[in-house]
A and B are shown apart, each in its own frame.
Chain A
């Protein structure tokens, strides 16, 4: 199947994933670490993550950024946040395999299958957009309200 055709088929699936599982995952992570918002996971850090995701050429650049942020963190809770983020990015890579397999011919993915890096990056960008927006929102609401 031609790549343009695959991309088109992936588009509908990524849109549905973003509105469903992607949003839910982002909201879950932001809510789980709500206590860190906005004092430890600051507005600047979220904007830094957004910038890193925008310029990333593949998923490894984003995980590298998250690892670096985790190494710099001086509180265990903050380290845990960045570790959690890396874990979720790994999950997204696995989810991308299913999306890709479904877009190709609706065939179920096997453990050996890999998704193309553009698709993984696309889904990671969708996820981080939702994560950043929901984190900003929870940060504005304050730690007492969810």
Chain B
């Protein structure tokens, strides 16, 4: 079962990459998003056992006015929407009805990790060129 989940998540991760890159491009244009904040988001995603902890971090950044509402909401919506992808994956795995909710929750967390990883990697990559461009202009 674990191998099947890993394979399904890997396939979904490749599908999600373009959406994550698009989001990362939008975020890196806003100075409010810093490299360390984004790395912090990735670190949390890979250490917490809960999707809600990842959402809470984003909500806190918005609440403390560190991140703008519009882009912050884009992150929240993207992560929340991954639940539907998780449900689709779990349906395909044919786990027992009793275990389904828990399986969806675990797959949702794995997809959030993948999505955050893609977003943060592309953010840091794109930000480097923005920073270099500004240094050259300056």
On A, residues with C-beta under 8 Å from B are: 15-16, 18-20, 22-23, 129-130, 133-137, 139-141
Contacts and interface: CB of A to CB of B under 8 A. Distances in A.
Given A16-B105, A19-B105, A20-B105, A140 B62 contact: yes
Interface residues of B, number: 17
A130 B63 contact: no
B64 interface: yes
B69 interface: yes
Interface stretch (B18-26, B37-45, B46-54): B46-54
B56 A129 contact: yes
Contact of B51 (A19, A129, A137): A19
A18 B51 CA distance: 9
B105 A133 contact: no
Contacts of A23: 52, 55
Given A16-B105, A19-B105, A20-B105, A137 B52 contact: no
The B interface, classified by DSSP as helix, strand, loop or mixed, is helix
A136 B52 contact: no
A135 B62 CA distance: 11
A23 B52 CA distance: 7
Contacts of A22: 52
A145 B52 CA distance: 21
Nearest to B102: A16
Given A15-B49, A18-B50, A20-B105, A133 B56 contact: yes
A115 B105 CA distance: 25
A9 B135 CA distance: 54
A133 B105 CA distance: 20
Given A18-B50, A20-B105, 15 more contacts: A15-B49, A18-B52, A19-B51, A22-B52, A23-B55, A129-B56, A133-B55, A133-B60, A134-B59, A136-B63, A137-B60, A140-B62, A140-B64, A140-B65, A140-B69
Contacts of B57: 133
Nearest to A13: B102
5 tightest A-B contacts by CB?
Answer: A136-B63, A137-B59, A133-B56, A133-B59, A23-B52
B63 A137 contact: yes
Contacts of B64: 136, 140
Contacts of B102: 16
A137 B57 CA distance: 10
B95 interface: no
A19 B50 contact: yes
